[in-house]
Amino acid sequence: MAAFFREVARRVFAQELKDSNLTFRDESDQYAPQYLLTPTGAKVNRIFLVGTLIEKEDIGTDSEYWRGRISDPTGSFLVYAGQYQPEGAQFLSECELPAFVAVVGKTSTYTTDDGNVFTSIRPESIQQVDELTRDLWVLETAKDTLNRIKDLEAGEDPNAKLAKEHYATDAAFYRSVVKKTLESLKENV
Amino acid sequence: MRQIAESIKDRFLKLGVDVPMEDIEERLDELITKFKVPDNEAQRSVVNYFLKKYSIPKNEFYVRQAEPQLSKIADISENGQWANLNAKVIQLWENNHESISQVGLLGDETGIIKFTKWQHAELPDLEEGESYLFRSVVTGEYNDRFQVQLNRNSSAEKLSEPVEVQGGDFTPGPRESELRNIVDLEGDNQWVTVRGKVVQLWENSHESIEQTGLIGDETGVVKFTNWASSELSDMEEGKSYLLKNVVVSEWNGRAQIQLNKGSSIEELDEDIEVGTSTFTYSGAMVDIQTGSGLIKRCPECKRALAKGACAEHGKVRGEYDLRIKAVLDSGTSTQDALINREITEELVGISLDEAIAMAADALDPGVVLDRLKQELIGKYYTASGPKLDRYLLVESIALKDSLDSELLEAMLAELEVE
């Protein structure tokens, strides 16, 4: 069915999102959804993450424009919320730091003049959650990432192939990232 | 050549026309000798020439030309063929299309086939139960089924001897539609047979609809519509039926079934258990959609109101309700879930009355929605219940309350090895 379908919210660690720089659309139409392909082959339009909000700042000049930094076991995500993300902006303006937060949002990228690509997230929703939810997310994201690494090695999935071609992904490196997150979880349990 | 000329002359004589032999021979000779036309082509061309000259309708000539080769219905297996059939009119269907004069089923001892008699065929009306010799009908294929069409060149001649129809008058053996599970129903205009229990009858004010509601079997529930024109008897809520030869159609991506004149309803003695197959889905709640929270429903049809008006009944005094249209997301798929008032109250810990009070305090029902989002979004749930098209109708939902340490250990062990 070519009708509307909802983009799945992918689970990707901050480290991997930071390493991503390949964006594309499935169709040439300017309204077609834009995807970000990560080094392990996650095709991300929507993302779901749970982490610790560690910084927030209103960087807007005329109107409020909030930037939040959310950390996970591997690094941090940047979330930007302005007038078009009223729920996210309101949350960031009111919340106290630090806090466990769950973010549903869309990835966006920014390319600097010298060709570096920065990834960030425009939130559809930010909610405060508890520590267990954060741990559940880490475990789930570890599992999904590991599955993607296996697909990458199998080399059959088209996204995996493309990712390998573009990034020459070092599977061992991302395995070690996953392992680190799992070990951090184990210490807490 | 002489032979061909004679046969042509003979046939025209039978129609009461005496064509001079010299004329026939002259034309034939020109074609065959001078223009190297094959004999049969030449013959046809000459015949057509004289038909035109004497204004004899083509079909009259060809029909009389020889006894037609008769086909059997079961042998019809090609598109766009001309065929002659001895068949009985088993059923005439309701027909609303102005270019169609009659439509229904024909049968013979080998099978049953749909026929369409076009308006422009200008043939007399066929009678149900009568047998006819159909000449020059055209075979066609639609949705993997064959049918025949009666057009301007066709004819129907009533037979005095009835044609035997296989399996009695109307139990089309091999062409009877397949019994399907409700969950498997899909596609457009498929004929199927379904057994199920009438779960709900809806109020219906449309005069062309006899009954409409939901029917379910062990695998799922589907909407049905029994058209008034089907002339079928009513079904009762809670009873189980075998619905033969119903049409599956799709609307807004969901399947529904329609009962028409060709369908039949058989009451069953058994009590079919409905929708025992429940689905379970685990994932993070990533969205709560508009239309959630404190809503108003139409007191007549229970549909949610939009701006105080019901799509069916217009402006009504709505009744308050609480519900959630949630999206759960596992990271590899998403699932829409409908959470009713009872379960919403339990899940969020606010009752309908409290929700109404909250809304009244804030002069805004939106505060209830905000509260739901605050409580639920971003957390992990496992929900289960039956599935109705794209929605999981949540019967139970639980917050994930512990980390799967086994999974953690297993993954660590796996990474350790490598």
For the segment A107-154, what is each residue's pLDDT rounded down to a tens digit? 999 988 888 889 999 999 999 999 999 999 999 999 999 999 999 999
Residue A156 belongs to a domain: yes
pLDDT for B288: 95
What is the tens place of the pLDDT at every residue in A66-78?
999 999 999 899 9
Cα of B118 to nearest chain A Cα, Å: 35
A123 assigned to some structural domain = yes
Which residues are registered as beta bridge partners of B100? B118
Any chain A CB within 8 A of the CB of B413?
Answer: no
Chain A residue whose CA is closest to B252: A3
Cβ within 8 Å, pair A135-B403: yes
Q: Give the gap in angstroms from C-alpha B38 to the nearest C-alpha of chain A.
A: 54
User: CA A68, A73, A75, A77 torsion: positive or negative?
Assistant: negative
- Whether residue A3 lies inside any domain: the answer is no
Best A10, A133, A145, A151 member to test B by mutation, with max B CBs in 10 Å, is A133
Spell out which chain A residues touch chain B, with contact meaning CB-CB distance below 8 angstroms: 1, 3, 6, 8-11, 46, 48, 50, 87, 101-104, 124-125, 127-129, 132-133, 135-137, 139-144, 146, 175, 178-179, 182-183, 185-186, 189
- CA B340 to chain CA centroid, Å, is 32
Q: Does residue A62 lie in a domain region?
A: yes
Q: Do B334 and A144 touch (CB under 8 A)?
A: no
B interface mutation test: which of A140, A173, A177, A185 has the most B CBs within 10 A? Answer: A140
Q: B416 to chain A: nearest residue by CA? A: A179
B367 close contact with A: CB closer than 8 A: no
Q: Is B379 on the interface with A (CB under 8 A)?
A: yes
Is A4 inside a domain boundary? no
Give the total number of structural domains in chain A: 1
Question: Which parts of A2-98 are beta strand (E)?
Answer: 9-10, 22-25, 34-37, 43-44, 46-58, 66-72, 75-81
Flag whether residue B415 sits within 8 Å of chain A, measured between CB atoms.
yes
Contacts of B374 in chain A (CB under 8 A): 127-128
Tell me the shortest Cα–Cα distance from B78 to chain A, in angstroms.
Answer: 31
- Which of A1, A4, A8, A70 is the best substitution to test chain B (most B C-beta atoms within 10 A)? A8
- Can you spell out the DSSP letters for B118-182? EGGG-PPPP-TT-EEEEEEEEEEEETTEEEEEE-TT-EEEE-SSPPP-TTSSS--TTTSPEE--G
Fold category of B178-267 in CATH: OB fold (Dihydrolipoamide Acetyltransferase, E2P) (2.40.50)
Q: What CATH number was assigned to the domain covering residues B279-399?
A: 2.40.50
In a domain, A36, yes or no: yes
Q: What is the CATH number of domain B70-158?
A: 2.40.50.140
pLDDT at B341 (0 to 100):
94
Q: Name the residue range of residue A51's domain.
A: 9-188
Does residue A78 fall inside a structural domain?
Answer: yes
One pLDDT digit (tens) per residue for chain B, 418 residues: 888 888 888 888 877 888 888 888 888 888 877 776 777 778 878 888 888 888 887 777 765 545 557 888 888 887 778 888 889 998 888 877 888 889 988 888 888 888 999 888 888 889 888 899 898 898 888 777 888 999 888 888 888 888 887 654 444 444 567 888 887 887 667 788 999 999 888 887 788 888 999 898 888 888 899 988 888 888 998 899 999 889 888 776 678 899 988 888 999 988 888 865 678 999 999 999 988 999 999 988 888 888 888 888 888 888 999 999 999 999 999 999 999 999 999 999 999 999 999 999 999 989 999 999 999 999 999 999 887 778 899 999 999 999 998 999 999 999 887 5
The CATH number covering residue A56 comes to 2.40.50.140
